[in-house]
Structure 1
Amino acid sequence: MTPVPRPALDTVPLYVPKPPVARADGTSHRLFLNENPYPPLPSVLAEVARAARVAHHYPEIMPGDLVAALAARLGVPESDVVTGPGSVGIYQQIAQAVLEPGDEVVYAWPSFEAYPIVARIAGARAVEVPLRDGAHDLAAMAARVTDRTRLVFLCEPNNPTGTSVRPADLEAFLAAVPSSVLVVLDEAYHEFSDSGVDGVALYRDHPNVVVLRTFSKAYGLAGLRVGYGVAHPVISAALRKCAVPCGVNGIAVRAAIASLAVEDELFARVDGIVRERDALRVALAERGVPVLPSETNFLWLPLGPRAAPVAATLEAAGLMARLYPGEGIRLTVGTPEANARVVTVLEDALVRA
């Protein structure tokens, strides 16, 4: 008899990345992973080069310098800051620290695709609550919380729809959820949003709130995998116990710290992406393309059954978007060149779809 994996894994999909399509003219655009279209700033790249010279050394078990820089930036105790290889790494720490088989995890759907994977790997029951008009239905989510609920995941703004909730509605939701339930507020797109929601402020008032953020999106370090979170000491200590030692590599640590030092330049880029996002949405809407308002660096096109043929047309034109079969297309905001091409191709695609 050979070793057999845990039965819980039978319900977990295996991620098989789709290879990018290369066009003969070399004009392919990656618009499917919500990456920043611009490379790290020169000052950050210089720090990456310096850090690479000591890549033969292990990094710190926990990145103390980065934790100190983040604590100072956010105005929180260093003991409350946790780190991981992207936000997903911290999600795994949360599941290990909190979930037992049979526990329930409540989240909206569609939302961040890690949620059902994290829940099922832990042997927990995933409780999916449909979005309403593309946004979190917080009242319905609160109603699904039971005495078996251990975790609630909130992607704010939501991925893949780009929508946000009102701060007052989120406060009411937190008041309705028992204090024994851990609410994980994922703010991966926080820097692109002007919704008024501030997870760090909520964490200060609610000991059961964990806030996650990342250097992957606004800071343009997706390839280096640096995520961080803020939680009260009982939870943050548990998450550190479950973290992979040296999980954030030394090059990533130095790049993240360098990025914090040049936020003015980076956030000027973010402002430019937001302007491009809003202009792209207006251009698509004027051409009859269904598109939701967005508080992120991407747009959601609720195309339903038309999504697959439209995505195929985009791909043939060198525009790699994220297809949700039967639901819609998530389209990352790219460079001005890429966005202009999107408008032209989508206008033609929807005529033929």
Structure 2
Amino acid sequence: MPIHGLPSSQEPIKPAHFDIEQVIRPNILTLHPYRCARDDYKEGILLDANENALGHSLSTQDSPNDDPTLDLDLHRYPDPSHDPIKERIAALRSISGVDHIFLGVGSDEVIDLLMRVCVAPGKERILITPPTYGMYSVCAQVNDVGVVKCPLELSGQAGEGGTDGRFSLKVDEVKKKIDADPSIKLVFLCSPGNPTGTSIALESIKSILDYKNFKGIVVVDEAYVDFVGEETSTVSLVKDYANLCVMQTFSKSFGLAAIRLGIAIAQPPLIQILTNTKAPYNISTPTAHLALSAMSPSSLVTMRNKIETLKTSRNALLTSLAGLAHLGLGLSIGSNDANFVMVPILSRDGTRPDNVRSQKIYKSLAEDNGVVVRFRGNEPGCEACLRITVGSEEENAVVIRKLELVLSEL
């Protein structure tokens, strides 16, 4: 059954055991997407979409004179495809073309769409690897999709990484879960992980992609990949694996969390399915304008410079945190591949992780000291842990000072 809007191709599918038509729900395969006004014509006297021809109603008296959004055609519906953004993403990530890229309202829309197009509600399941990003489970529950859990390796020393260290992927266990439950359609892997900060080895991901018993799609969430290096990215595997979808975002390394722009990178059949299913104008014109600006040559230089600054600050923060060991602060766990670190709060004698003390310190930092971190102590392998985002140099200094104060008091 041809996918609507997808040109025919004679190239063999790799891996051979994968057939996207067996993964996508039948009602989605037959879906004819909504035809929006800007699909056919984008120029001329546009009287086809029932827009307000008199323009937007934003008062210049209440807005800064240099507000660039006021010069955009805000009374017009946005471009439904945003190819200029995709072209810059393709160049940045060394992707062969815009037909390999989908744009969503944050990665969360991509997660939700993947479940809606691949997983039958009430019948089929996804697999996640705790500790991991919480939205996979939330979206699954919203879509009435079952969740199979296969925890990461929870033992080992901090920062070992690789294929067998702490928070590495237990490949054989994932395969056993797949063998035991043929209804698993999506495997979600977060690399670098949230909250683990540890990258999953490419060999481990390839092992799942190559596993003939798994007929579904491996989704790799790379929200933090720029903080560890493109050499760890699974984007390089997309050309060889039709059963791979890589998610990235403008929220982290680009510093544009407010514009809510996520990216899916995959082979054209899956991208076309997502495009057919999305809302007609899911990416707003202001969001597109800012995203395009963020990928100009000068902006990319700024982005990379800020990444290096944050990595340097991350190392300095880890050193400062280690200096609080005498107050019952444990060494960071995970490989610290992201823009955050995770440290356990120990009992006062330093012998064990102490969840009760950790929660008290978390609340005292926020409510009494104006420092907000994230309590992750209820996640598998993260007992008594606080996740601390790497801030500015000044913010990091305050974190250390306040944490030392609260550790001394509690």
Q: Is the 8 A contact 1:51 1:250 kept in 2?
A: no
Q: Distance in 2 between matches of 1:160 and 1:317?
A: 23
State which of 64, 75, 83 in structure 2 corresponds to 1:56. 75
Q: CA deviation at 1:222?
A: 0.6
Q: 1:264 to 1:51 in 2, by over 3 A?
A: farther
CA-to-aligned-CA distance 1:133-170 (integer Å, 9 cap, x gap): 35143322232223111000011000012111223333
SS across alignment from 1:330: strand
Choose between structure 1 and 2: higher strand proportion: 1
Q: Distance in 1 between matches of 2:303 and 2:89?
A: 16
Match for 2:148: what amino acid? V
CA-to-aligned-CA distance 1:241-265 (integer Å, 9 cap, x gap): 2212211111111111111112111
Q: Is the 8 A contact 2:131 2:152 kept in 1?
A: yes
Q: 1:204 to 1:72 in 2, by over 3 A?
A: same
SS across alignment from 1:56: coil
Tell me the TM-score normalized by structure 1: 0.81
Tell me the TM-score normalized by structure 2: 0.71
Q: Distance in 2 between matches of 1:129 and 1:177?
A: 19
Q: CA deviation at 1:48?
A: 7.4
Q: Is the 8 A contact 1:90 1:243 kept in 2?
A: no
Q: Is the 8 A contact 1:203 1:230 kept in 2?
A: yes
CA-to-aligned-CA distance 1:73-109 (integer Å, 9 cap, x gap): 3332211110111111111111111110221211111
Structure 1 consecutive aligned stretches of length 4 or more whose deviation exceeds 6 Å: none
SS across alignment from 1:144: helix
What's the counterpart of residue 92 of structure 1? Answer: 112
CA-to-aligned-CA distance 1:312-346 (integer Å, 9 cap, x gap): 12212111111235432211111111101111222
Q: Percent identity?
A: 25
Match for 1:143: what amino acid? K
SS across alignment from 1:131: coil
Match for 1:193: what amino acid? V
Q: Distance in 2 between matches of 1:147 and 1:280?
A: 45
State which of 206, 209, 213 in structure 1 corresponds to 2:241. 206
Q: Is the 8 A contact 2:153 2:170 kept in 1?
A: no
Q: Alpha carbon RMSD of aligned pairs, Å?
A: 2.1
Q: Distance in 1 between matches of 2:279 and 2:70?
A: 21
Aligned residues: 308
Q: 1:154 to 1:301 in 2, by over 3 A?
A: same
Q: Is the 8 A contact 1:162 1:294 kept in 2?
A: yes
Q: Distance in 2 between matches of 1:300 and 1:124?
A: 30
- Within 5 Å, give how 1:187-226 maps onto structure 2: 187-194=222-229, 196-226=231-261
- Within 5 Å, give how 1:320-331 maps onto structure 2: 320-326=372-378, 327=383, 328-331=385-388
What's the counterpart of residue 161 of structure 1? Answer: 196
Q: Is the 8 A contact 2:107 2:261 kept in 1?
A: yes
What's the counterpart of residue 97 of structure 2? Answer: 77
Structure number with higher relative contact order (C-alpha < 8 Å, ≥ 6 residues apart) = 1
What's the counterpart of residue 42 of structure 1? Answer: none
Larger Rg computed on CA atoms: 2
Residue 175, structure 1, aligned to residue 226, structure 2: no
Q: 1:95 to 1:83 in 2, by over 3 A?
A: same
What's the counterpart of residue 279 of structure 1? Answer: 316
Q: Distance in 2 between matches of 1:48 and 1:92?
A: 33
Residue 267, structure 1, aligned to residue 304, structure 2: yes
Q: Is the 8 A contact 1:48 1:251 kept in 2?
A: no
Residue 149, structure 1, aligned to residue 181, structure 2: no
Match for 1:147: what amino acid? P
What's the counterpart of residue 296 of structure 1? Answer: 338
CA-to-aligned-CA distance 1:30-82 (integer Å, 9 cap, x gap): xxxxxxxxxxxxxxxx9971575322222112222212222233332211110
Q: CA deviation at 1:212?
A: 0.6
- Unpaired runs of 5+ residues, structure 2, are 1-64, 155-165, 346-353
- Unpaired runs of 5+ residues, structure 1, are 1-45
Q: Is the 8 A contact 1:166 1:196 kept in 2?
A: no
